Amino acid sequence: MKLTKQTWQPATEKIYDTIVIGGGAGGLSAGIYLQRYLLDTLIIDKGKARSFWMSELHNYLGLPPDTPGRSVLRQGKEHFLSLGGDLLDAYVEEVIDEGETFAIRVKIGRNNSQYHTFRAKYLIAASGIIDYLPELENMRNVYEYAGYNLHVCLICDGYEMADKKVGVFANSAGNAEVVFPLGWFTSNITLFTQGLFEVPDDLRSRLEAQGYQIEATSIEQFIGEDHQMTGVELTDGRIVKLDTGLISMGSKYHATYLDKFELEKQGGNLVTDKMARTSHPRIFAIGDLKVGLNQVVVAAADGALAATQIWRDIRRSTFSKTVVQQARD
């Protein structure tokens, strides 16, 4: 059921088997598997998943390559709800470990917000990441093209950039390294540093050896129409024509609610075992939040793994409790 301000109350009085934080590709997949294991599941999602910004999902088996990310999310939510799962549109602020359960404190609604606590035995962190974009005075100009032919994911969209004139927009020498794997697809690459970092000598000579251009002047705006970027106007008035672009500026991790658990991490990503379990035995992490490839197919598979391991844990503990009870009787 979709929980609303009017219907949340009974949900705060029960203990869910699992609460999934994040209703993107990973969280919805986990929710579908959990409900099909007859486990009581609540997905809490603040919306605007990374898949929401994906204008077309190009590489998912069984779906036409122009399937919008929004369709995947809508269909996934309907599927989860049809299996009897609960879905709440809210922001998770804090998770408290109470021993056998987690208390999950949420904020519902941006205006006149309400604050409530939901409880579960297991937690799946599926709250993803969000890409940093070039910071221009007019951010609408960036949103006009980002996710269309101004890409953020080389694995997803390298193919789309093949043999094209590509602008790479980076904010550090480390993030600029993306030009080298991009060189598999095209040799016509200009790196835009926007004066945000100095290109170290070693990187400069490797770029020059490949014939890649470097442009240090800041960007005034992206130019183009109908969501198709055709170049950039620089702050000195020059125009650089491009066919497409790749933003490589790092990501913000949506997991501050887990900070006090001090879970094992690699960079910002959570480290998990092969069943998506973190260093805490009842917290699982899936999708972009964990170490691995940031892909819809991987997030969906992670959801299946985490849900299956939680089912095994619950089944085994229920079985051992029954055996102990029978021995007592």
Q: How far is the CB of 159 from ligand FAD (least distance, A)?
A: 9
Residue 249's SS3 state is: coil
The nearer residue to ligand FAD, 105 or 206, going by C-beta atoms, is: 105
Does residue 26 bind ligand FAD (CB under 6 A)? yes
Nearer to ligand FAD, 92 or 120 (CB): 92
How many CA atoms, within 13 angstroms, populate the side-chain half-sphere of residue 30? Answer: 40
User: Under the criterion CB under 6 A, does residue 44 sit at the interface with ligand FAD?
Assistant: yes
* Residues between 252 and 311 that touch ligand FAD (CB under 6 A): 254, 257, 287-288, 294-297, 299
211: exposed, middle or buried (Cβ count in 10 Å: 0-12, 13-18, 19+): exposed
CB of 281 to ligand FAD, least distance (A): 21
Window 189 to 218, contacts with ligand FAD (CB under 6 A): none
Q: Cβ closer to ligand FAD: 57 or 306?
A: 57
Q: How far is the CB of 263 from ligand FAD (least distance, A)?
A: 15
Taking CA 70 as the corner, what is the angle to CA 30 and CA 163, rounded to the nearest 5 degrees?
Answer: 105
- From the number of C-beta atoms within 10 Å of its C-beta (0-12, 13-18, 19+), residue 11 rates as middle
165 binds ligand FAD per the rule CB under 6 A: no
The total of other beta-carbon atoms located within 10 Å of residue 24's CB is 31
Q: Which CA distances in Å does 19 have to 25, 63, 281, 328?
A: 15, 28, 15, 33
249 binds ligand FAD (CB under 6 A): no
Given 31, 50, 123, 192, the residue binding ligand FAD (CB under 6 A): 50
Candidate residues 51, 194, 248, 272; the one interacting with ligand FAD per rule CB under 6 A: 51
Residue 243 or 288 having the CB closest to ligand FAD: 288
Q: Which is nearer to ligand FAD, 220 or 288 (CB)?
A: 288
Q: What is the C-alpha to C-alpha distance for residues 200 and 17, in angstroms, rounded to an integer? A: 52
If residue 224 lies in a helix (H) or strand (E), which one and from where to where?
strand 219-225
**Cβ of residue 157: shortest distance to ligand FAD, in angstroms?**
6
Count of residues that interact with ligand FAD, criterion CB under 6 A: 39
Name the one range near ligand FAD by CB under 6 A: 22-30, 78-86, 196-204, 213-221. Answer: 22-30
Q: What is the DSSP string of 124-192?
A: EE---EEE-----S-HHHHHTTBTTTEES-HHHHTGGGTTS-EEEEESSHHHHTTHHHHTTT-S-EEEE
Q: Which two tokens stand for residue 1?
A: 């059921």
* Residue among 31 and 121 whose Cβ is closer to ligand FAD: 31
Residue 48 CB-density burial (10 A; 0-12 exposed, 13-18 middle, 19+ buried) = exposed
Task: Look up residue 124 and give its two tokens.
Answer: 């799946």
Residues 245 and 168: their CA atoms lie apart, in Å, by: 6
- Does position 156 interact with ligand FAD (CB under 6 A)? The reply is yes
Give me the least distance between CB of 297 and ligand FAD, in Å please: 6
Shortest gap between Cβ of 220 and ligand FAD (angstroms)?
23
Residue window 87-116: x/- pattern of binding to ligand FAD, with contact defined by CB under 6 A: ----xx------------------------
Contacts 24+ apart (CB under 8 A), 205-213: 206/180, 207/179, 210/179, 210/180, 210/183, 211/187, 212/179, 212/183, 213/189
Q: Which residues bind ligand FAD (CB under 6 A)?
A: 21-27, 44-51, 53-54, 57-59, 91-92, 126-128, 131, 147, 152-153, 156, 254, 257, 287-288, 294-297, 299
